[in-house]
Amino acid sequence: MPHANLKLNEPTGDQVRETTCYMCACRCGIRVHLKDGRVRYIDGNPTHPVNRGVICAKGSSGIMQHYSPARLSKPLLRVGERGERQFREIEWDEALEIAAQWLGDIRARNPDELAFFTGRDQSQALTGWWAQQFGTINYAAHGGFCSVNMAAAGMYTFGGSFWEFGEPDWDRTKYLMLWGVAEDHDSNPIKLGLGKLKARGAKIVVVNPVRSGYGAIADEWIAINPGTDGLLAGALIHQLLRTDRVDFDYLVRYTNAHHLVIRAQGAPDDGLIARDAEGSPLCAVRGGQIVDATQPDTSPLIAGEYTLPDGRRAVPAFQLLAERFLADEYAPENVAERCGVDAATIRRLAAELARTAFDEAIELPIPWTDTHGREHASMTGRPVAMHAMRGISAHANGFHTCRTLHVLQMLLGAIDTPGSFRYQPPYPRSAPPANRPATARKPDGTLNGNPLGYPVSPEDLLVDAKGAPRRIDHAFSWAYPLAAHGMLQSVIRNAVAGDPYKIDTLFLFMANMGWNSAMDTAHTRKLLCEREAGGDYKIPHIIYVDAYDSETVAFADLVLPDTTYLERHDCISLLDRPISDADAAADAIRTPVVEPDRDVRPFQDVLLELGARLNLPGMADAHGGPKYRDYADYIVRHERAPGLGLLAGWRGADGASEGKGAPNPDQLARYREHGCHWEARVPARGAFYRFANRDYLQWAQGMGFVGATGPITLQLYCETLQRFRLAAQGHGAMQPPEQERARVERYFDPVPMWYTEVETPAPFAGESRSREAPVGGGTSRTDRPHRAWGPHGAPGHGSPRAGEGNAWVSPGNDDFPLHAISQRPMFMYHSWGSQNRWLRQIATRNYLYANPCTLAEHGINDEDWTWIASPRGRIRVQVRAHAATAPGTVWTWNALGKKRGAWKLDARAPEFVDGFLLNDLIGERDASGTYSNADPVTGQAAWFDLRVRLERDPQPQVPGHRVELVERDEAVPSP
């Protein structure tokens, strides 16, 4: 009981201002309490849709982020050598003049000589548009280094994504599987949701090699081996197919399961969906008739082989899926050892999923209209939800793993049905979304679109006439065709190598590539300092923008100091990474709550001013002056398309419109009056089945989220992938160069698959690509898979089979038998909290955590100092025994270890002395040295594929962190 005289609600300051947190990616609403103009206290905004008043330790520690000694305070110009941290302070005018000179020269010469890359969640709606107006194709944010596999697999499969673009139906789900979810992402919403599940007694299953935060409250922890999530999901699919526990009605209504796939080995249409003259996909119905698959009220067949009206043979897409996953390779007993999950557990999990989805189905009395105009009195729910994050994504097999998970959801009827995974507006969009990466410049020098997008055919790639990459990071090349978020991790290496060409300026915004936003970190820093024979740096200019004195600052030629998040406007836009939840579209702003006390400027203001100085279209007025006063002005007045701006709330001259409408000069004032956020509720009839729900799609079209109200077909079979595969097989005008064909053919399988995570691009084995696998014939959709195909269906042609692929496996796993992963600390979002005095009290250094059995096998004791080695080198670290780590895996917190000299930390700071960075052991190249260490479909950095061994130190009690890399790039001496 609180003391009677204790006044819990005493004002903490003399003013309270509302804005949006930026201590992690959740974007919670906060109230900043000020006293005499200084920040005294931060708490959660109870009216905010994201957190409803909840604040976490990171969020309330924003005070120390704002007053951090590591803040930059003045523009800096390098005077020493790169890496020496020797700068002279300059005025903003000089800084902008220098930047405008470098950038202006580039734009006049060749805009692609600018590589503009940003860290996460950094106003991409602005930065992407700025790059487009500048005219460089070399733009991206950090998604390629983070979780593009998650985004791309989702967008190509069902027009949505896990991550922050969808959520479990927290109010109704009875069974939640969390796959590789770290606590740093979507933190407060997930915590609030898990609380609801615990209160209702719903089962929570966590699939993760480490039982960290969410795992601690889960009902079951599946201690999976890293990189095998797709194999486990495939085994669950195998089991569901074998036991007939599949939602066939859902499949034929909402997915392309029944669409006929042409079987014409060697023909240019092999593997494509058969279509009629109007372009509608075809399906077979009872009696073997071939009809338009999009027509309602048919009973399509999903098994068998059929003859099309023109004589070609075709099979339903579901047939191919069943052939793949009914194969023995996906049988629980055949994946158990590899996954680290016993077969009985896999079978039980599949049975629990099926029982919950089908035997405990729910029915909501919500009437709705489907896209065919049919009225439905209720909505059927499959109360099984999945959520996944970086843990399944950051592997070279992550794209297919994510797709496998989505297929598992589809088989259970568990995408956007009551109790399952739900889209958050503005999703769903077409699968894949309509935007393609820009490929050309217009006469005014701007690109013909955003530099990033979703290719749907080889014609969308950025390659030259010989098939070589056009982008500096090789995104959208034949090596990484669907690199929808770019490949931040490859930029520096390629720029230094001049591969495919030299650049002039590397322009980075909060992308700490001198440390934890790079693989092979020490080597990356060395590359930043590499010189031509004549003495010039190989990357002639580096402009770096940050609010803090991070490791990368030391390598910049020009440093532009940003404000803290409490000193600037920001826009959390539906054009970017929205804060919607499943029931409401929402966006928000940050608004300055204090004035900067240093000579710093918001980066967005600086970017717009640079644009005006460069006379970029859309940023300069007719007289050559700035079109926008500052970013706040841009937020209000800029229109991406007529009526479509960065903020969706209070649009129109009178502020009465939502979604679309003319700019409203008072828009920001309205947001401030409403706690800096806006939301619009999804109509009740549009609550679920949004991919086929006319009520929802009409609302979404009115809001500007979708262009049309037709159904969005879920892609059980991804025809887009087949188009690339056909090109690799020699069809079409755009084909990969000879050396890329095998790789594209192998990985662009339209049916999800699993392959081992560490690969070398050895020559393709060239096994038969016959589609003559034995299949059942003439079965109706009520025929069950195990009857139609038998238990030993053949895998899709040309695909590696689960567990197969030794010809592709990097040699050396015997030498490096352990998996090594890192987790973002839940108490420090990425490394942003490392200089935060309050958060540093939680941890100032990291350890290497390993299961006690793993340590015992190596003769290593808890708290010993030992070596962790990869092919790249070795690091001496202190270990902690951790029973909540899967045997065979070691892990650490990411980026607690710091580079000496950065972040204004004391030279004796534990971050320098004891902490370490696992990235030093992760090669940027794959084992062959030919390709990036990345997913071959999307270019996603495969940093969770790291394999290591522990080497016992003969003097384990002697403290001392050291780094010994193979090339001896850097040795950090013992303290």
Residues 324, 326, 327, CA angle at the centre, nearest 5°?
70
Question: Binding pattern to ligand SF4, positions 468-487, x when CB under 6 A?
Answer: --------------------
Give residue 174's identity as a one-letter amino acid code: K
Q: Are 64 and 54 in contact (CB under 8 A)?
A: no
**Percent of the chain as helix, strand, coil, to the nearest 5:** 30, 20, 55
Select the span of 22-30, 352-360, 378-386, 413-421 touching ligand SF4 (CB under 6 A). Answer: 22-30
Select the span of 20-28, 228-236, 269-277, 302-310 touching ligand SF4 (CB under 6 A). Answer: 20-28
Select the span of 54-62, 203-211, 267-275, 407-415 touching ligand SF4 (CB under 6 A). Answer: 54-62
Q: How far is the CB of 43 from ligand SF4 (least distance, A)?
A: 9
Q: How far is the CB of 521 from ligand SF4 (least distance, A)?
A: 26
Q: How far is the CB of 24 from ligand SF4 (least distance, A)?
A: 3
Tell me how far apart the alpha carbons of residues 921 and 418 are, in angstroms, rounded to a whole number: 44
Peptide bond into 811 cis (omega under 30): no
Q: How far is the CB of 191 from ligand SF4 (least distance, A)?
A: 8
Select the span of 51-59, 313-321, 441-449, 806-814 touching ligand SF4 (CB under 6 A). Answer: 51-59
- 488 lies in the binding site for ligand SF4 (CB under 6 A): no
- Which residue lies nearer to ligand SF4 by CB, 51 or 894? 51
Q: Are 916 and 846 in contact (CB under 8 A)?
A: yes
The 10 Å CB-count burial string (b at 16+, else e) for 136-166 is bbbbbbbbbbbbbbbbbbbbbbbbbbbbbbb
Residue number, nearest CB to ligand SF4: 59
Select the span of 48-56, 239-247, 681-689, 876-884 touching ligand SF4 (CB under 6 A). Answer: 48-56
- 55 lies in the binding site for ligand SF4 (CB under 6 A): yes
Q: How far is the CB of 69 from ligand SF4 (least distance, A)?
A: 21
- 572 lies in the binding site for ligand SF4 (CB under 6 A): no
What is the greatest pairwise CA distance in the chain?
Answer: 88
Peptide bond into 75 cis (omega under 30): no
Select the span of 25-33, 395-403, 912-920, 923-931 touching ligand SF4 (CB under 6 A). Answer: 25-33
List binders of ligand SF4 among 429-448 (CB under 6 A): none
Tell me how far apart the alpha carbons of residues 837 and 835 are, in angstroms, rounded to a whole number: 6
The residues pairing with 387 across neighbouring beta strands, listed in sequence order, are 178
Tell me how far apart the alpha carbons of residues 454 and 18 are, in angstroms, rounded to a whole number: 37
Q: How far is the CB of 671 from ligand SF4 (least distance, A)?
A: 17
Select the span of 16-24, 147-155, 405-413, 959-967 touching ligand SF4 (CB under 6 A). Answer: 16-24
DSSP one-letter string for 347-405: HHHHHHHHIIIIIT-EEE---EEBTTS-EES-EEE--EEEEE-HHHHSSTTHHHHHHHH
Three-class SS string for 864-925?
CEEEEEECCEEEEEEEEECCCECCCEEEEECCCCCCCCCCCCCCCCHHHHCCCCHHHHCCCE
- Which residue lies nearer to ligand SF4 by CB, 50 or 648? 50
Question: Binding pattern to ligand SF4, positions 146-185, x when CB under 6 A?
Answer: ----------------------------------------
- 66 lies in the binding site for ligand SF4 (CB under 6 A): no
Structure letter (DSSP) for residue 693: B
- Which residue lies nearer to ligand SF4 by CB, 45 or 208? 45
Phi, psi torsion values for 275, nearest 5 degrees? -130, 155
Q: How far is the CB of 30 from ligand SF4 (least distance, A)?
A: 7
- Which residue lies nearer to ligand SF4 by CB, 23 or 150? 23
Residue whose C-alpha is closest to residue 419's, from 369, 376, 362, 350:
362
- Which residue lies nearer to ligand SF4 by CB, 20 or 693? 20
Those residues whose C-beta lies under 8 Å from the C-beta of residue 419, and which sit 6 or more positions away, are 169, 172, 173, 174, 362, 381, 382, 383, 384, 385
- Which residue lies nearer to ligand SF4 by CB, 222 or 579? 579
- Find the binder of ligand SF4 among 58, 120, 525, 824 (CB under 6 A): 58
Q: How far is the CB of 827 from ligand SF4 (least distance, A)?
A: 10
- 188 lies in the binding site for ligand SF4 (CB under 6 A): yes
Could you give the 3-state DSSP secondary structure of residue 281? strand
- Find the binder of ligand SF4 among 19, 39, 48, 51 (CB under 6 A): 51
- The site that binds ligand SF4 (CB under 6 A) totals a number of residues, namely 13
Tell me how far apart the alpha carbons of residues 171 and 234 are, in angstroms, rounded to a whole number: 28
- 23 lies in the binding site for ligand SF4 (CB under 6 A): yes
Torsion angle defined by CA atoms of residues 511, 516, 517 and 523, in that order, rounded to the nearest 10 degrees: 110
Select the span of 21-29, 593-601, 725-733, 902-910 touching ligand SF4 (CB under 6 A). Answer: 21-29
**Is 280 exposed, middle or buried (CB count within 10 Å of its CB: 0-12, 13-18, 19+)?**
middle
- Which residue lies nearer to ligand SF4 by CB, 186 or 969? 186
Q: How far is the CB of 548 from ligand SF4 (least distance, A)?
A: 16
Q: How far is the CB of 583 from ligand SF4 (least distance, A)?
A: 19
Tell me how far apart the alpha carbons of residues 727 and 315 are, in angstroms, rounded to a whole number: 21
Peptide bond into 428 cis (omega under 30): yes
Question: Binding pattern to ligand SF4, positions 655-674, x when CB under 6 A?
Answer: --------------------
Q: How far is the CB of 913 from ligand SF4 (least distance, A)?
A: 27
Count Cβ atoms below 10 Å from residue 672 Cβ, excluding itself: 14
- 45 lies in the binding site for ligand SF4 (CB under 6 A): no
Q: How far is the CB of 42 from ligand SF4 (least distance, A)?
A: 8
- Which residue lies nearer to ligand SF4 by CB, 59 or 425? 59
- 723 lies in the binding site for ligand SF4 (CB under 6 A): no
- 24 lies in the binding site for ligand SF4 (CB under 6 A): yes
Tell me how far apart the alpha carbons of residues 631 and 615 are, in angstroms, rounded to a whole number: 17
Q: Is the dihedral of CA 223, 225, 231, 233 positive or negative?
A: positive
Q: How far is the CB of 675 from ligand SF4 (least distance, A)?
A: 14
Could you report how far apart the first and last alpha carbons of the chain are, in Å?
49
Select the span of 50-58, 258-266, 295-303, 641-649 touching ligand SF4 (CB under 6 A). Answer: 50-58
- 588 lies in the binding site for ligand SF4 (CB under 6 A): no
Residues 295, 296, 297, CA angle at the centre, nearest 5°?
125
- 27 lies in the binding site for ligand SF4 (CB under 6 A): yes
Q: Is the dihedral of CA 892, 895, 899, 904 positive or negative?
A: negative
CA distances from 557 to 98, 195, 398, 605, 831 (A): 10, 48, 36, 21, 23
Select the span of 23-31, 307-315, 397-405, 632-640 touching ligand SF4 (CB under 6 A). Answer: 23-31
- Find the binder of ligand SF4 among 17, 18, 21, 397 (CB under 6 A): 21
Q: Are 646 and 663 in contact (CB under 8 A)?
A: no
- Find the binder of ligand SF4 among 59, 119, 561, 795 (CB under 6 A): 59
- 187 lies in the binding site for ligand SF4 (CB under 6 A): yes
Q: How far is the CB of 55 from ligand SF4 (least distance, A)?
A: 5
Tell me how far apart the alpha carbons of residues 61 and 835 are, in angstroms, rounded to a whole number: 11
- 56 lies in the binding site for ligand SF4 (CB under 6 A): yes
Question: Binding pattern to ligand SF4, positions 502-521, x when CB under 6 A?
Answer: --------------------
Residue whose C-alpha is closest to residue 801's, from 407, 333, 324, 224:
324
Q: Is the dihedral of CA 577, 581, 583, 584 positive or negative?
A: negative
CA distances from 72 to 551, 559, 742, 833 (A): 13, 9, 49, 15
Binding site residues, ligand SF4, CB under 6 A = 21, 23-24, 26-28, 51, 55-56, 58-59, 187-188
